[in-house]
Amino acid sequence: MNDAGFIFGSYAVTFGAIALFALATIRRGRTLSAQVPDEEKYWT
Amino acid sequence: MTQTTEVTSPQSEPTATVSGTGTVATRIIGIAALIATAWLVAFGLGFSPADRDQDESVRIMYVHVPSIWVAYVAFVVTAAASGGYLFSKRHSLGFDRVAGASAEIGALFVAVTLVSGMLWGRLTWGVFWQWDARLTTTALLFVTYIGYLAVRRLGGDHHQRARRSAVIGLPAVLLIPLVHWSVVLWRSLHQEATVLRPDGQVSMGGLMLFSLFVGVVAFSLIYLWLVIHRSRVAALADFADDRLLADALVARRHEGGADTDSNHVDMSQTADINDVQHPGGER
């Protein structure tokens, strides 16, 4: 494949950034969740 | 609004058995998003053919185009939720949390669109960046929503944050038509739309169009999963903020020697603080 570095790089940057954001969100959710009683979590 | 919620002091932790923001529904959406992403990678990098003019570099389109389309959707959701907060009778903070979460994800998607576009531009134009109409308006869109997110962190109570950011989030959506039609309005280096064209024609077909469709599905599912989790994290953060305020009130009472026979504080006191600044607002 020609220009593979740019093509794979664009996929890596895109999904890497989204994965980092998703991980940060999940981690923050878990940390905060431990401080909040279950009755305040409307999704439970 | 006076809502009485028992808030415990730091000495006695609340009962929290549910760890995190996930539910069965979000797990199903997450798995669907992962499967769609795997399909996108397979079709985008493997099964779809090279383009006659752009050769292999066209493969960047399958992440570049869906990411900006879903960013548009995210900003429309931000505007709708901002309107929901401003114009509804209840002034529910749920609208504000969805608006903020959606704007964050939209800004992330615009950022990855800009980066993938720069890589694509380097291959097709020979440069990473040009002050072209489409690129400039997209950068303006990104900066606008970064500003929106900065305003959300200015401080104040939750309703001040919600009102202040909604006033920005509602009109900011008007930038989207400017970005999308910039290639028609001005002479642009960027190619014109191949699918969402003014004449309604689609100048793409076969596996290339299917791969783009898979990309749109994948990014939509990712957005949906992220916005649900991020809104729930915002709700947890707001509650934790309220709790900090309540704890500070307890500490102040101790300092003042007031009667504090228990480690509980009536949240109506903190709610009253909010009510002074925003009558009728709900948590």
Structural domain spans, chain B? 25-229
Contact check, Cβ <8 Å, A35/B19: no
Chain A residues within 8 A of B243 when measuring between CB atoms = 35-36
Are the C-beta atoms of residues B155 and A39 closer than 8 Å to each other? no
pLDDT in tens, B4-28: 444 444 444 556 676 788 899 999 9
Contact check, Cβ <8 Å, A3/B13: no
User: Could you tell me the CA-to-CA distances from B260 to B3, B10, B243, B270 in Å, in that order?
Assistant: 20, 15, 17, 17
pLDDT in tens, B248-265: 888 888 887 655 455 555
Q: B73: distance to nearest CA of chain A, Å?
A: 17
pLDDT in the model for residue B282: 55
Class of domain B25-229 as given by CATH: mainly alpha
Residue of A10, A30, A42 with shortest CB distance to B63? A10
Q: Does B231 touch chain A (CB under 8 A)?
A: no
Q: Distance between CA B120 and CA B59 in Å, rounded?
A: 9
Q: Distance between CA B253 and CA B251 in Å, rounded?
A: 5
Write down the pTM of the prediction.
0.84
Q: Is the ipTM of this complex over 0.90?
A: yes
Contact check, Cβ <8 Å, B112/A13: yes
pLDDT in tens, B83-129: 999 999 889 999 999 999 999 999 999 999 999 999 999 999 899 99
